[in-house]
């Protein structure tokens, strides 16, 4: 029997079978980066019943982040991972969030996320995305990336592709934040798609 320890978990239990909710509550999701993708994806996941998160990001919340990242003016100046931990545990007090303020590098990426079952790439630059891919391809666990989400319009171009057994890539494969600004709608769509892939993996729904 899945332990429903608070009113939030009792309320969402109606959307899942007992075994499904137990799977969501046991999976550990590692999110690399806590900006637009990472913060929105994490909120989608905690609202969906995921309890366990590993977050890493060395950056702090800036007022300019609020156009697309799941933060509020009261969080400005705080480490993003600490602010996000506060948000996630406010939604579900049973959420267990390990938050690192380290800058992710080739030397620490594997150790930081050693216990994660699923990895979410939530960086906003090509170099960090390449680091993620190069460092984690040896791992036998699902990896969900984003490539191409900048700009406005044509949100239907943000597709989910499965490349091989464990790699998923979401985006339009062409727009880049160096060429166009990131805005809330397309960033949020990409983050929601990342969360949706997590649910499909954990609950074994909608996968080939």
Averaged over successive runs of 10 residues, the pLDDT of the chain (208 residues) comes to: 75 96 98 99 99 98 98 99 99 98 97 98 94 95 94 93 95 79 96 98 79
Q: Tell me if 11 is assigned to some domain.
A: no
Q: Which domain holds residue 55?
A: 16-202
Q: Tell me if 114 is assigned to some domain.
A: yes
Q: Tell me if 179 is assigned to some domain.
A: yes
Q: Phi/psi zone of residue 123: left (φ > 0), alpha (ψ -120 to 50 degrees), beta?
A: beta
Residues 6+ apart with CB under 8 A from 66: 72, 73, 76
Residues 6+ apart with CB under 8 A from 159: 170, 171, 172
pTM attached to this predicted model: 0.94
User: Are the CB atoms for 31 and 88 separated by under 8 Å?
Assistant: no
How far apart are the C-alpha atoms of 43 and 38, rounded to whole Å? 9
Phi, psi of 145 (to 5 degrees): -115, 170
Output the pLDDT for position 179.
74
Distances (CA, A) of 157 to 77, 120, 160, 174, 205: 34, 20, 10, 10, 23
Q: Tell me if 7 is assigned to some domain.
A: no
Output the pLDDT for position 2.
47
- CATH number of the domain that 110 lies in? 3.40.50.720
- What's the number of domains the chain is made of? 1
Output the pLDDT for position 1.
42
Output the pLDDT for position 108.
97
Instruction: Count the neighbouring beta carbons within 10 Å of the beta carbon of residue 205.
Output: 10
Output the pLDDT for position 180.
85
Q: Tell me if 10 is assigned to some domain.
A: no
How far apart are the C-alpha atoms of 24 and 51, rounded to whole Å? 7
Output the pLDDT for position 4.
56
Q: Tell me if 76 is assigned to some domain.
A: yes
Q: Residue 118, CB half-sphere, CA atoms under 13 Å: how many?
A: 28
């Amino acid at each position: 029997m899945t332990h429903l320890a608070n009113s939030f978990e009792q309320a969402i239990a109606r959307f899942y079978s007992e075994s499904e909710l137990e799977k969501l509550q046991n999976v550990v999701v590692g999110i690399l980066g806590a900006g637009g993708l990472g913060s929105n994806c994490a909120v989608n996941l905690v609202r969906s019943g995921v309890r366990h998160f590993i977050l890493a990001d060395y950056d702090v919340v800036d007022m300019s982040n609020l156009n697309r990242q799941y933060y509020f003016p009261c969080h400005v100046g705080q480490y993003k991972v600490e602010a996000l931990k506060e948000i996630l545990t406010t939604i579900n007090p049973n959420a267990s969030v390990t938050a690192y303020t380290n800058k992710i590098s080739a030397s620490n990426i594997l150790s930081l996320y050693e216990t994660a079952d699923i990895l979410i790439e939530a960086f906003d630059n090509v170099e960090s995305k390449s680091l993620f891919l190069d460092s984690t391809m040896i791992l036998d666990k699902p990896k969900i990336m984003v490539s191409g989400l900048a700009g406005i319009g044509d949100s239907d171009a943000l597709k989910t592709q499965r490349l091989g057994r464990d790699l998923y890539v979401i985006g339009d494969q062409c727009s880049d934040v160096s060429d166009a600004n990131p805005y809330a709608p397309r960033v949020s769509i990409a983050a929601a798609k990342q969360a949706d892939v997590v649910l499909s993996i954990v609950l074994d729904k909608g996968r080939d």
